[in-house]
Amino acid sequence: MNGDAVPPSLRVVRLSKRYGALRALDGLDLSIAPGEFVALLGPNGAGKSTLFQLLTALFVADAGVIEVDGVSLAQRPSAALARIGVVFQQPTLDLDTDALANLRFHARLHGLGHAGLQRAPVLLAELGLSEQAARPCRLLSGGNRRKVELARALLTQPRLLLMDEPTVGLDPLSRRQLLDSVRRRCADDGLAVLWATHLVDEAEAADRVLVLHRGRCRAEGSPAAIVAAQQAPDLQSAFVALTREPAPGRAEEADA
């Protein structure tokens, strides 16, 4: 899928970030092909959110390269950001207004014009939110709020979807529905997804898993390959084994 003509949807090379004395990310390499669903599996403090903050240009990396769909984030930040859809770990909905207004605000912020405004109710309907579209977001359940955020992230028709622990606080059914919605987009639209989580069952649904621990990649491959490499009975055991000990060569605690 990652042929000569088609650049990877995300390419990260030797990415590093420090916060004072803390090394949050330490030379991370990552590549995601179009249509690929990659789970970024790591315990709390692994550096997942730091990676997302760098990928969304909220912070600037100390070293390394980030390319989205072949566009350098450092050199052409607006063009790169226009290719990314994000669902942040922290909810980012305007709770005082309804789902449709939240999406329309986003459409204008991204300069999508009339087409974007028209796409908003269609996307909400696709995610089963037609009846909730006109209700203030404050009155929506946690699961539906997340779906609104997903619809908003998809509104810009991104090449890369970043999901930063999107299922935190959701019940098992809502988690499954959200995961299924995103998987469908991957398969149908060729959307590349980076899904950060510390929940192993979510990672098991991924094409590829990258285990992040203390700012470094500890293992990468399909869930089955990681289990086999660790000679573990399942991914949960492999994950525990990979993140039990400090990464080599690290004197300080990573990330906050």
Residue ranges binding other proteins (CB under 8 A) = 19, 42, 44-50, 53, 56-60, 77-82, 84, 86, 88-92, 94-97, 104-106, 108-113, 164-165, 196, 198, 255-256
In the bound state with other proteins, the residue whose beta carbon lies nearer, of 18 and 250, is 18
Q: How far apart are CA 166 and CA 255, in angstroms?
A: 19
Whole-angstrom distance, CA of residue 228 vs CA of residue 178 = 28
The nearest distance, CB 58 to other proteins, in angstroms, is 6
In the complex, least distance from residue 187 CB atom to other proteins, rounded to whole angstroms: 26
**Residue closer to other proteins (CB basis): 59 or 232:** 59
| Shortest reach from residue 10's CB to other proteins, in Å | 15
Q: Could you give the CA distance from residue 123 to residue 155 in angstroms, rounded to a whole number?
A: 7
Give the DSSP H/E element, type plus range, for residue 38.
strand 37-41
Q: How far is the CB of 233 from other proteins (least distance, A)?
A: 26
Nearer to other proteins, 89 or 236 (CB): 89
d(CA 49, CA 81): 17
Neighbouring CB atoms inside 10 A of 81's CB total 18
Least CB distance to other proteins at residue 193 (A): 17
Q: Which is nearer to other proteins, 203 or 227 (CB)?
A: 203
What is the DSSP secondary structure assignment for residue 237, as one 8-state letter? H
Structural element, H or E, at residue 177? helix 172-189
d(CA 238, CA 219): 10
| Closer residue to other proteins in complex, CB, 48/185 | 48
Q: From CA 101, how far away is CA 43, in angstroms rounded?
A: 35
